[in-house]
Structure formats: C-alpha cells, structure tokens
Amino acid sequence: MAAPINTGRLLHSTVVLPKGANLASVIFLHGSGDTGSGVRGWIETLLRRDLEVKNTKLIFPTAPLRPYSPMNGALSNVWFDRKKIAPTADECIESVDIACEEVGKILREEADSGISKNKIVIGGFSMGGALAYHLAYRFHRDIAGVFSLSSFINKDSIIYQEVKQVKNGLPPLFAAHGGKDPLVLFDWGVDTVKALESLGVSTVFHEFPRLHHELGVQELRLLEEWLSKILNV
C-alpha cells in the first residue's frame, strides 16, 4: 500500500517521558528523509540510551511526506521544500511557514499542558535545525533556546531580515558541526552562527573536525549538558 502524500500535517511524534516530573520539553526535529523515531533510534544507538535531561519530555515529530525538489520531486519526509542544497539558494518560504505552523502546534500544546515556553527548547539535525532556526527566531522568541546540529540558514534568509528588527530577547543557541561534512559544508554552518551572533544571539559553537554529516557521541553529550543548564529543572 502506497504511503499517503501529506504536504502539511505532521505524521506522528515519538515521545519519551521523563522518569520524574515533567517540567520542561525538548522538541528534536529530524533531518530530511528521516523520521522522529529514526532520529531517536540514531541517538539511542550512539549513546546506548535516550538523551537524558532531568524532568524533561523529549518529542521527536515526523515531517510530512511531500515532493522534494532536490530529489526531482520524489516523495520524502522533509520539513520544507528547497530548490537546491546551497547557501545562495532562495528559500521556499511558503513551505517553511507551513511547517512552522504545524510544529508550532506542538509548542502550543506543551504550553497548554502547563509547560512554560521558557522551559521549551527546539532544535534538530540538518534540515530539522534549519526549521528550528525559523521557529525560534521568527515565531517563538520566548522559548528557552534553540540547538542546531550540522545545520544552516541560507545566505539571504528572511530570518536575518526579521532578527535585525529585534533588539533583545533572542533565544540562546547551541550549534555543532562536523569539519568533514560533505553535504552542509562546515563553512556554511560557521557563517550561519557568526551571522546570528552579529545580530545579538548568544551562541555556543562546537566543531568536530572528524565528523561528517552525522551525529556524534561527544556532540550529544555536550548538548545534554547545555540543555540541562538552559532548562534548569
């Protein structure tokens, strides 16, 4: 049976509940072609356990199945479309904003359940991190923070245009990138972080010289430490 084409609504979320009280939430967005359960499994394989952040729910949404231009229109679980994988490419902003609205519903659901937005962090790997940038710096500047792993913002992104109008109150950023990344080049990731920093974003950046376009054990451990500090629950 063919998988349904769903260019808007999220397919499902994998949720990991905390062992103790639920006082905070982390939303982790997968990269292109993956799923929420897929990236959670990847983390479990590397760490031999889930991410561990005290009193914090982990939410791993799955992007809709939609035509993806870099794959000649083939269907893939991607957060948004893009013309090509390059810093200078124009953003397909309509599809970005649809994804922001859908993932934003998770943020609102968490807030409605009693989790303060300043106890919510959103981030992701590759395209997931890119969407997290849009969510955090355009639509939800009152969250606790954002993380970006092997990710990017396009050179003339609307994010930069909108952040220029904001004087303070921008969520802090944890970013990490592999020095041997062949897909989202290291310099692209660095330029993204430097641009945000120049606009007033408090940043923590880690380079992993031997890492390709992938997650790493030390990277995830540093992320856990940062999340625990930012959420402080």
Q: Which residues are catalytic?
A: 126, 181, 213
Q: Which amino acid is at 78?
A: V
Buried b (16+ CB within 10 A) or exposed e, 62-75: bbbbbebbbeeeeb
C-beta of residue 15 within 8 angstroms of C-beta of residue 106: no
Q: What are phi and psi for residue 87, nearest 5 degrees?
A: -60, -30
Q: Cα dihedral angle (53, 11, 41, 190), rounded to 10 degrees?
A: -70
Cα(first)–Cα(last) distance of the chain, in Å? 45
Distance CA 175, CA 155 (A): 17
Place of tokens 């998988």: 3
Helix/strand/coil (H, E, C) string of 11-27?
CCEEEECCCCCCCEEEE
CB burial class (10 A; 0-12, 13-18, 19+) of residue 137? buried
